[in-house]
Amino acid sequence: GAVVSQHPSWVICKSGTSVKIECRSLDFQATTMFWYRQFPKQSLMLMATSNEGSKATYEQGVEKDKFLINHASLTLSTLTVTSAHPEDSSFYICSARVYPEAFFGQGTRLTVV
Amino acid sequence: GENVEQHPSTLSVQEGDSAVIKCTYSDSASNYFPWYKQELGKRPQLIIDIRSNVGEKKDQRIAVTLNKTAKHFSLHITETQPEDSAVYFCAASNQAGTALIFGKGTTLSVSS
């Protein structure tokens, strides 16, 4: 199957700083990638859809100025959590589809202290 | 947009029993329905999926059924084993370029 690679796997940052998470499709091109957030013992909640060469589409309730998404190439999408706060601590996971299947990155455990 | 409901949230069975998890979806245009198993801190692992042109699909001890009219689909695990204990998620999507929308998950516990 297709491979999606996400880095870093975990990161600890101080409150008020920014953190960038990378998501790469290693063996296929992805014009669209998806970013999810998963709080402990909860489901994967779609945050935004990342579109190569255009603006991301954010789900209702997700602050686009806080969660900056850049999809500059057909194999790379980045999610930057700006001015992180402890409530942003979560498991972030990206995904891309090779229809109909979805392939997921390893996920990033973000802890804001 | 799509909304996926999943029940039950927790399920406890004895080893060897069957387990059934049910999901309903809201968007009649949805045509792809995967099931995932997720271990803590790991990415979801696809265990079986079904497309809307099929009513049932089976892979060894795992089967999925789809009722398009009622807009629900179910995961069936037979002869459960302790290693089947995990969190299971259903999902749905309606187009190639759209995201999967997930149910809230079911924690399955299989006791020996």
Give the residue on A whose Cα is nearest the Cα of B103.
A43
Residue A47's pLDDT is what?
98
Report chain A residues whose CB lies below 8 A from the CB of B32. 100
Q: Express each pLDDT in A22-43 by its tens digit.
A: 999 999 999 999 999 999 999 9
Cis-peptide, bond into residue A100, ω within 30° of zero? yes
Q: Do B102 and A45 touch (CB under 8 A)?
A: yes
Segment A7-12 mean pLDDT: 98
Give the residue on A whose Cα is nearest the Cα of B96.
A99
Q: Give Cα separations from B7 to B30, B82, B86 (angstroms).
A: 19, 20, 15
- Looking at CA atoms only, how far is residue B96 from chain A in angstroms? 6
Query: In sequence order, what are the residues at sequence separation of 6 or more whose Cβ sits closer than 8 angstroms to the Cβ of residue B35?
Result: B21, B46, B47, B48, B49, B62, B64, B75, B88, B89, B90, B91
Segment B23-42 mean pLDDT: 96
Q: Express each pLDDT in A46-101 by its tens digit.
A: 999 999 989 999 999 999 999 999 998 999 999 999 999 999 999 999 999 998 99
Interface check B35 vs A, CB under 8 A: no
Nearest-angstrom CA–CA distance, B71 and B4 = 10
More confident site: A110 or B96: A110
Residue A1's pLDDT is what?
77
Start-to-end Cα distance in chain B: 41
Q: DSSP character for A59?
A: P
pLDDT level of residue B110 (50, 70, 90 thresholds): very high
Residue B1's pLDDT is what?
87
Q: Do A100 and B49 touch (CB under 8 A)?
A: yes
Residue A14's pLDDT is what?
98
Interface check B30 vs A, CB under 8 A: no
Report chain A residues whose CB lies below 8 A from the CB of B102. 43-45
Residue B47's pLDDT is what?
98
Segment B57-72 mean pLDDT: 97
Q: Do B102 and A44 touch (CB under 8 A)?
A: yes
Nearest-angstrom CA–CA distance, A46 and A62 = 9
Residue A63's pLDDT is what?
95
